[in-house]
Structure 1
Amino acid sequence: MTTGRQQVKVIVMGAGVIGVTTAWYLARQGHEVTVIDRQPAAAMETSFANAGQVSPGYSTPWAMPGLPLKALGWMLKKDSPLVIRARLDLPMLRWMTQLLANCNAHAYDINKARMLRVAEYSRDCLTELRAETGITYDDRQKGLIQLFRTQAQLDHAQDDMRLLTESNVPHQLLDPAQIVAREPGLAHASHLLKGGLYLPGDESGDAHMFTQRLSQKAAELGVTFRYETRIEGLDASATGIMGVRTSAGRVTGDAYVLALGSYSPLMLRPLGIRLPVYPVKGYSLTVPLTDETRAPTSTVNDESYKVAMTRLGDRIRIGGTAELTGYSLRLSPDRRRTLERSFSELFGGGDLTRATYWTGLRPNTPDGTPVIGPSGRFGNLWLNTGHGTLGWTMACGSGQLLADLIDGRRPAIPHLDLSISRYTA
């Protein structure tokens, strides 16, 4: 354990993968940490059953050139990867307006470069954490393949490959035969494929298992976890946070970290801080493995349906699709059919009749980059949220980065453009 320059008492709000990794790194640097969460254990909401991919090479903003036309086309498809539920929702409309403003080549290059920076650093931090602690979580370090079914998808990959090259991210364009050599379970579906982008540095693992096991290790370092405790609001003076109001009473500290994912903007709104994070609903199926010859050995992404398929021990995790529907957690039968269709067409080595169906809310920013750093208005309030579909990918790096900032250390990567100030500059 390293020791910080001065021990402070830090209150971390949220026990998902972002909150727990932040607490871990703060405790390693010698701080007194308390984590508050409404659930009975760590990683019971968005971190519970995500796609399982630690995919720095696949870190790509939604906001890209051509997205508006693509979205219109998707709306006409029953198995669309994107669904927007019509509703009178000013935060959603404001978020969508900001998203559209980022749908140009210049913004895309900036945003993707930021995301790659955080994700690559995070993967390195995860590697170090794994070596230090010996933690296991059905993890595999076998890379990721992004599958292209059309020539247009293959052509668009050239732009991403340019940015990957500029960011020194290893990658390789594969033909169908090379894809099958790496993922033999796709042999019967090779006729559907035009090519694939192989990212050897990407990994996979169960985020829920990782977060629960890391929370145990954090507790051994002295972190206090206050579960089944609902956060009701923040008490603030003109310049700082004075305490957290909870269902179990008031909790106070020297510094406060907001890591509540999609619920972070709701906590900040009464304080006069507008955080452009909106919930994007995603779905997953966890399928028992029945035939290894028809299953992924690592992890693949079906670009046509925006569906990810990952091997997690004796299970297969199928995750994807996106809905803008506020904070609803209703399970949609249509979205399940999309996940099942993608998996059945490409693999099929799992029992879909015994699948566990789940949904969660991804905290998306309009530019794709998470918000990591000071809150701006209150000197002792810090933000670590807005990671979208990449919370698992970016968790360790985000936690280490924020712990360094709170500790007064110089972070290992540039960070000024990751803070909330980029929306107000």
Structure 2
Amino acid sequence: MHILVLGAGVVGVTTAWYLRQEGYDVTVVDRQCNAGTETSYANGGQISVSHAEPWANPSTPLKVLRWLARPDAPLLFRPRMDPAQWRWGISFLRECTSARAARNMRQIVRLGIYSRERLQALRKDIEIEYDHLEKGILHLYTNPGEFESALEPARIMRELGCDRQVIDADRAVELEPALSPVRQRIAGATYTAEDESGDARRFTQALAIKAQEAGVEFLYGTEILGFENTRDRVLGVTVIREGRHQTLRADSYVLSLGSFSAILARKLGLFLNIYPAKGYSITVPVKNEDAAFNVSLIDDEYKLVFSRLGDRIRVAGTAELSGYSRELNLTRCRAIVRRTAELMPEAGHWEQSEFWAGLRPATPSNVPYIGKSHFGNLYLNTGHGTLGWTHSCGSAAALADIVAGRKPDVDFTFTGLQPAR
């Protein structure tokens, strides 16, 4: 069977890899000139099962209201004359109840644990380098109220098998001495030893090479326009490749186009409640090895994640719901630099920060679409939001099971979509 995977980000490439391991003929299509050059390019770099509390939780609506007037707010909603944005926003508010947030967290944690295990198994099977570290993730809190709010989610995660331990400031500094200059400001912390970090772009491009060696074909520089289809089957994908309009045909298709999945799915009459959440990152060279961290960090108050990638520091975060523009908002970029330099002034050459913005495919619940659509030969693996890197291997392995007619080995509610009304 020939399968066409639409999208060469970290989710699309891992999907292609696991499908090829099942023995399928696989072709990957992407408009860019290489794998991992959009949302996977400069993300936060963390395999963070512990970062599983959904954005939609009871405390969020009030925070968003307070942040409306702040251009550097961690979560910024910029209202537009866009029905998709308002529909997404209303659905988001519905997910902010305690019961729904707990349900969604269970889904996210289970998929995260499974995915981390699959990544570790993949790393043992093949030689692949991507600046990965296995030193855990430390959530730090400089606001006592934010720390208090983290205790219950941490407890739920422990019950689900994610060992997110609550620790004090002294233990946090013991784990990561680079935090010693701000020891007095730390109200508390949590630590998950099993979590990891690594460069998602390097991983994606290295795995794409391995996949090519295994027989996967990559069609880069190919713009996807739409579909040829009947009521219940996809017959082909219309594209522009090397200046020519073409139709690519396969037996089955996988939609893994991140934020653009929703636009393309609509052409088939499928409604995916995915909206782009523009995230920002800075990448800087290490300045002082003693002052630079090695344990990955998460600053929950400012919604920032910190990863050490070899001789570079990556800090990423914030979310801007403002459409599909990837234009840099320098106010938000500088806010990341300011907060990071405040916590670790000597760690990096902050004046050399390389700014980046990417569109993260967010669902209101933070739970992705993985599974079969109502089209008999169209599968979905998209909508992973900020956790595409974390969930990529598990999502891909599970989808390969579904395509092969097996039940995935993870307790997760897989998608079955109905036509849009």
The TM-score normalised by the length of structure 2 is 0.96
- What corresponds to 2:248 in structure 1? 251
- What corresponds to 1:286 in structure 2? 283
CA deviations on 1:97-125 (whole Å, 9 max, x unpaired) are 00000101100110000001111100000
Letter in 1 for 2:35: A
* Alpha-carbon distance between aligned partners in 2 of 1:116 and 1:418, rounded to the nearest angstrom: 15
Q: Secondary structure at the match of 1:131?
A: helix
Q: Secondary structure at the match of 2:222?
A: coil
Letter in 1 for 2:365: D
8 Å Cα contact 2:71/2:332 also seen in 1: no
- What corresponds to 2:233 in structure 1? 240
8 Å Cα contact 2:271/2:419 also seen in 1: no
- What corresponds to 1:311 in structure 2? 308
- 1:57 is aligned to 2:53: no
- 1:170 is aligned to 2:163: yes
Letter in 1 for 2:133: R
- What corresponds to 1:3 in structure 2? none
- What corresponds to 2:388 in structure 1? 391
* Alpha-carbon distance between aligned partners in 2 of 1:66 and 1:321, rounded to the nearest angstrom: 17
- What corresponds to 1:375 in structure 2? 373
8 Å Cα contact 1:57/1:201 also seen in 2: no
Cα distance 1:179–1:423, how it changes in 2: closer, same or farther (>3 A)? farther
- Displacement of 1:347: 1.3
The residue correspondences of 1:405-424 to structure 2 (distance < 5 A) are 405-415=402-412, 417-421=413-417
Letter in 2 for 1:73: R
Q: Secondary structure at the match of 1:235?
A: strand
Letter in 1 for 2:8: A
Q: How many residues align?
A: 415
8 Å Cα contact 2:64/2:77 also seen in 1: no
Give RMSD over aligned pairs: 1.3
- 1:70 is aligned to 2:63: yes
Cα distance 1:423–1:57, how it changes in 2: closer, same or farther (>3 A)? farther
8 Å Cα contact 1:305/1:338 also seen in 2: no
* Alpha-carbon distance between aligned partners in 2 of 1:207 and 1:234, rounded to the nearest angstrom: 30
* Alpha-carbon distance between aligned partners in 2 of 1:128 and 1:121, rounded to the nearest angstrom: 11
Cα distance 1:422–1:76, how it changes in 2: closer, same or farther (>3 A)? farther
Letter in 2 for 1:118: L
Q: Secondary structure at the match of 1:57?
A: coil
Q: Secondary structure at the match of 1:56?
A: coil
CA deviations on 1:208-259 (whole Å, 9 max, x unpaired) are 0000000000001100000001001111111100001010211111110000
* Alpha-carbon distance between aligned partners in 2 of 1:218 and 1:133, rounded to the nearest angstrom: 11
8 Å Cα contact 1:189/1:345 also seen in 2: no
8 Å Cα contact 1:276/1:366 also seen in 2: yes
Letter in 2 for 1:105: S
* Alpha-carbon distance between aligned partners in 1 of 2:338 and 2:185, rounded to the nearest angstrom: 13
Letter in 2 for 1:305: Y
- What corresponds to 1:355 in structure 2? 353
- What corresponds to 1:322 in structure 2? 319
* Alpha-carbon distance between aligned partners in 2 of 1:59 and 1:154, rounded to the nearest angstrom: 15
- Displacement of 1:165: 2.1
Q: Secondary structure at the match of 1:152?
A: helix
Correspondent of 2:77 among 84, 105, 120? 84
Q: Secondary structure at the match of 1:46?
A: coil
8 Å Cα contact 1:139/1:203 also seen in 2: yes
* % identical equivalent positions: 43
Letter in 2 for 1:203: E
Q: Which runs of 5+ in 2 are unaligned?
A: none
8 Å Cα contact 2:172/2:189 also seen in 1: yes
Letter in 2 for 1:347: M
- Displacement of 1:78: 4.7
Cα distance 1:168–1:422, how it changes in 2: closer, same or farther (>3 A)? farther
* Alpha-carbon distance between aligned partners in 2 of 1:410 and 1:420, rounded to the nearest angstrom: 14
- Displacement of 1:421: 4.0
Letter in 1 for 2:137: L
- 1:20 is aligned to 2:13: yes
Letter in 2 for 1:157: A
* Alpha-carbon distance between aligned partners in 2 of 1:78 and 1:194, rounded to the nearest angstrom: 26
* Alpha-carbon distance between aligned partners in 2 of 1:236 and 1:64, rounded to the nearest angstrom: 39
* Alpha-carbon distance between aligned partners in 1 of 2:310 and 2:418, rounded to the nearest angstrom: 40
- Displacement of 1:75: 2.4
Letter in 1 for 2:199: D
Q: Secondary structure at the match of 1:383?
A: strand
* Alpha-carbon distance between aligned partners in 1 of 2:267 and 2:73, rounded to the nearest angstrom: 36
Q: Which runs of 5+ in 1 are unaligned?
A: 1-7
- 1:155 is aligned to 2:148: yes
- Displacement of 1:46: 0.2
8 Å Cα contact 1:283/1:321 also seen in 2: yes
* Alpha-carbon distance between aligned partners in 2 of 1:171 and 1:96, rounded to the nearest angstrom: 30
Cα distance 1:423–1:124, how it changes in 2: closer, same or farther (>3 A)? farther
CA deviations on 1:346-404 (whole Å, 9 max, x unpaired) are 1131112222110000000011101000112x010000000000000000000000011
Correspondent of 2:194 among 188, 198, 201? 201
- What corresponds to 1:5 in structure 2? none
- Displacement of 1:410: 2.1
- What corresponds to 1:35 in structure 2? 28
* Alpha-carbon distance between aligned partners in 2 of 1:423 and 1:313, rounded to the nearest angstrom: 46
The TM-score normalised by the length of structure 1 is 0.96
Letter in 2 for 1:149: T
Q: Secondary structure at the match of 2:267?
A: helix
8 Å Cα contact 2:136/2:193 also seen in 1: yes
Letter in 2 for 1:170: D
Cα distance 1:84–1:407, how it changes in 2: closer, same or farther (>3 A)? same
Q: Secondary structure at the match of 1:58?
A: coil
- What corresponds to 1:137 in structure 2? 130
Letter in 2 for 1:186: L
* Alpha-carbon distance between aligned partners in 1 of 2:206 and 2:27, rounded to the nearest angstrom: 17
